[in-house]
Amino acid sequence: MKFSRVVVQALLVVAVITSIVLSFFIWTNTARYQRGRNIDVTSAESNKNEIPMNQVISPTSVIWHDETDQHLIYNSNENISLSIQKVMQDWKIDEPKLISDKDGAKYQKVIQAKNTLQMVYPTSISINTLGYLLNNDSLKNDKSNQFNRILVNLKDKKDQNIYLANDDNYAVYKAKVKNASSVPISKLVDKANIDLKVRLDIMKHGVFTSYVDPIKLKTYSYVISGKKDGEYTTALFDSNTNGLVTSEDNGVYTYNYGESKRLISDHNTEELTFEDYTDTSVPKTQLAFLQRGYQKVTNLQNSISNLRLYSADWSDKDLIFREYVEGFPIFKKSQFGSIRIKFSRKGSTEHFLNKVLEVPVPSNSAATKLKSTNEIFKGLQRAGYSPNDVQGIEVGYQWEAEADNEKVVDLKPTYYVKIGGHWKAYEEWTNESAEEE
């Protein structure tokens, strides 16, 4: 009798333990099952049609200094700077060290070094952002320092370094590179089919790229696309459009989503402004700042393959993106480029244009020959602007609607000059043409 009781008790203990073990397995397993499914969904989403972040935040001009001169190079069949970035992803880059600072003369030497290729960003970004874009851990550790030029010596075998330079404070950082070869980069340089002789001048308001001789540049045409207001409200208010308050005044439409979000669409200029009063967290790091800007940009527009980060003002939390064609920025008839994003504690603001370059089409116009940068400075002086007034000078493309086809725009090259905080075409400052006669 006693024996059977022991058996019953032992079996009971076993049964209880088994039930606990089984419950444990079921719980942990279900969790894994659900988590696995989520990962699957998100990775499928992010793979969709997206242009990677390292294309939107990438160098826009490539300058090659051979034995004698500096050349701005471009390959119209293949984006050189994107291809070099791909090569650099395999490099082992050590942590960068500061080698010089606030020394203009030394800085000039660095950016004019021979046999050196440099890739120039339109704005300075933090070194850890580059680390994130190249997936490089030692660069990721450098959180505070900024740069806007990457320099690589392609001929000197002993110089196994890359240099990061910052035009704003003349800082130069040096980082040791392993597992790298200059051969693929030299090949990309040789394939360039646009080659313009340039000189880098340090001026009062920064480093300017000057074209030594008159330059001949192609004109381009694009089919442009836009979206209806409804498509923007669906994407930006991320909910159905019920409860939208709409008002219209002289072609300016305002859509309110409660008290929290507002979209203003000006149908006359095709400019839109989106304000999100719920987005009150200001990015804490420079990397987060650019990442959030990139996310907002992908949410706004479908085709961003021509879009590049043009200016990042970390102190004001202000980002500007512009469209680029073959390495030159496009200036549209707005002061903010293509997209401007501002973060603040009161909420984020996005200004953007409802005109996006969609499909390139052959241009009917002939190439344009522009004056040398020196001639442009002379012209500005005649109009009463001294070189010290010039805050920026850049060759860019002007946006001109075709008279007989409103879906197609022509892009014509000209000089853009920034004076008093405003970018305007050279012609508007001086009433003179930037074209060589």
Partner 1 sequence: MDFRRIEVIFLIVFFSLDIFLFLSFRNSQQLVSSTSTNTSTVTEMRKRNISFGSLDTKNGNAYYLGSQPDDSLAQNVQKLRNQKVEYENVNHTLVSTLNNPITVTTANRTEVMNKFVKKESNILFGKDYKYAPQLSSSSQMIYVPTGSLGEVYDKTAQLVFSVSEGEVVGYTQTYVKKLIVLHEKQAIKSEKEVVTNLYANSEIPNNSKISYANLAYTKLLEANDSTIYIPVWFVTIRNKDSKVSTTKKVNAFTGNIIKSSTNGDNYSAQ
List of residues contacting partner 1 (CB under 8 A): 5, 8-9, 11-12, 15-16, 18-19, 22-23, 25-26, 29-30, 32-33, 36-37, 40, 47-49, 75-79, 221, 223, 225, 302-303, 305, 326, 358-364, 405, 407-408
CB of 399 to partner 1, least distance (A): 16
CB 142 within 8 A of CB 125: no
Question: Can you give the three-state secondary structure of 36-103, one letter per residue?
Answer: HHHHHHHHHHHCCCCCCHHHHCCCCEEEEECCCCEEEEECCCCCHHHHHHHHHCCCEECCCEEEECCC
CB of 82 to partner 1, least distance (A): 8
Nearer to partner 1, 47 or 68 (CB): 47
Both tokens of 403, joined, read: 């008279």
How far does CA 367 lie from the centroid of its chain? 27
Distance (Å, whole) CA 128 – CA 288? 11
CA-to-CA dists, residue 227 to 56, 232, 270, 353, angstroms: 21, 7, 10, 10
What is the per-residue burial (b if ≥16 Cβ within 10 Å, else e) of 166-179? bbeebbbbbbebee
CB of 321 to partner 1, least distance (A): 19
Residue type, 289: F
Helix axes 286-300, 127-134, angle to 10 degrees: 60
Nearer to partner 1, 26 or 383 (CB): 26
Nearer to partner 1, 22 or 367 (CB): 22
CB of 298 to partner 1, least distance (A): 14
CB of 246 to partner 1, least distance (A): 26
Residue 9: exposed, middle, or buried by beta-carbon count in 10 A (0-12, 13-18, 19+)?
Answer: exposed
CB of 74 to partner 1, least distance (A): 9
Nearer to partner 1, 12 or 183 (CB): 12
Complete DSSP assignment for 211-237: ESS-EEE--EEEEEE---HHHHHHHHS
- List phi, psi (to 5°) of 155: -110, -35
CB 131 within 8 A of CB 137: yes
CB of 2 to partner 1, least distance (A): 11
CB of 37 to partner 1, least distance (A): 6
Beta strands, E only, 206-338 = 206-211, 215-217, 220-225, 244-249, 252-257, 261-266, 271-276, 307-313, 318-325, 328-331
Both tokens of 44, joined, read: 């499928």
Residue 247: exposed, middle, or buried by beta-carbon count in 10 A (0-12, 13-18, 19+)?
Answer: exposed
Q: What number of other Cβ atoms are within 10 A of residue 181's Cβ?
A: 10
Nearer to partner 1, 30 or 281 (CB): 30
Nearer to partner 1, 119 or 165 (CB): 119
Nearer to partner 1, 8 or 183 (CB): 8
CB of 52 to partner 1, least distance (A): 9
CB of 70 to partner 1, least distance (A): 22
Nearer to partner 1, 247 or 299 (CB): 299
Nearer to partner 1, 119 or 341 (CB): 119
Nearer to partner 1, 312 or 357 (CB): 357
